Structure 1
Amino acid sequence: MKFSRLFASAGLAALALVPAAQAAPASPFGMWQTVEGDARFDVKACDGTADEICATLVWLRDDAHSPENLQLMNQLVVWDAKPTAANRWRGMVNYKGHVVKGSLTMLGVNSMKVTGCKFVLCETMEFERL
């Protein structure tokens, strides 16, 4: 698996297609993994401020140990994501080795998606809470 595929499945424009949750905001904080189970991320408040979300790649399944992915281990892959609506944040994403604007959207208490776009190419990736 290439890490770029993680954000290809979005790294963060398909946001307009995701309906905003009507329920109370769900917390994005905690440990998450891709639905494929090949990577895990620690999602925390950036620099201790609960208004900004950051995500760090903390684990890769053995078959995901490509040089590209290993360079991102223990690095921020989402940062400075600020709330834009209930259950939705926009910030910066490492998308295929490029820093692009992206979004994080809670789809439910235990599921979220991250979308990243470079020009008109957007990719979305879904995550499940551990």
Structure 2
Amino acid sequence: MIRSLAVLITCLAALFGAPSARAQSADASGTWLTQAGDARVKVSKCGGGICGVIVWLKEPYDTATGQPASDSKNPNPALARRPLIGLPLFNGMQATGPNKWSGQIYNADDGSMYASNISVTGTDTLRIEGCVGALCGGETWTRVGR
């Protein structure tokens, strides 16, 4: 009887411990490697939602000038000089469901903002999707740090 009780307690602890582990792994906070492997983005909670900032680049310097890579595709000349490292890609993405957020995302490759959805799709995977009108695309980022 005592052995059965100990087994039951162990099983209950495992059963009730599992959801919290799952909820923790579904958190978008952390550092993520883009699908192309050319940048890392630090995602954190902010303003009731999530924010993402570039914290690492595979090629941090412009090969032509030797200067830090900049937001050169931005149509605003003042912003086109800002460095890519430290550049916010999204601010205040708001929750739209469990492990899902929606808002605007900046694409430094073309200097434009897009409607976007972000969702945690696995313990270490984050799906980023953006749309312009009916044209949509996306990529999957991989967690590289908490």
| TM score, norm. by length of structure 1 | 0.69
Q: Does 1:87 align with 2:99?
A: yes
What aligned pairs does 1:50-89 form with structure 2 within 5 A after superposition?
A: 51-62=48-59, 70-71=70-71, 72-89=84-101
How big is the shift at 1:38? 1.2
Instruction: Give secondary structure in 1 for the equivalent of 2:70.
Output: helix
Which structure: larger Rg?
A: 2
Shift in alpha-carbon separation, 1:27–1:64, aligned structure 2, 3 A: farther
Higher relative contact order (CA 8 A, sep 6+): 1
Does the Cα contact within 8 Å between 1:38 and 1:64 map onto a contact in 2?
A: no
Does the Cα contact within 8 Å between 1:41 and 1:58 map onto a contact in 2?
A: yes
What aligned pairs does 1:4-23 form with structure 2 within 5 A after superposition?
A: none
**Which structure 2 residue ranges, 5 or more long, are not aligned?**
1-21, 72-83
| TM score, norm. by length of structure 2 | 0.62
**Which structure 1 residue ranges, 5 or more long, are not aligned?**
1-22
Equivalent pairs counted in the alignment come to: 104
Give CA-to-partner distance per residue, 1:15-66, whole Å, 9 cap, x none.
Answer: xxxxxxxx647100011101332110010122xx4x2100011111128958
How big is the shift at 1:81? 0.6
Q: Does 1:116 align with 2:130?
A: yes
C-alpha distance in structure 2 between counterparts of 1:88 and 1:66, whole Å: 37
Q: If each structure's helix is expressed as a fraction of its own residues, which one has the higher value?
A: 2
Report the more deviating stretch, 54-63 or 37-46: 54-63
- 1:103 alignment counterpart: 117
Does the Cα contact within 8 Å between 1:24 and 1:86 map onto a contact in 2?
A: no
Shift in alpha-carbon separation, 1:54–1:63, aligned structure 2, 3 A: closer
Q: Which amino acid aligns with 1:110?
A: D
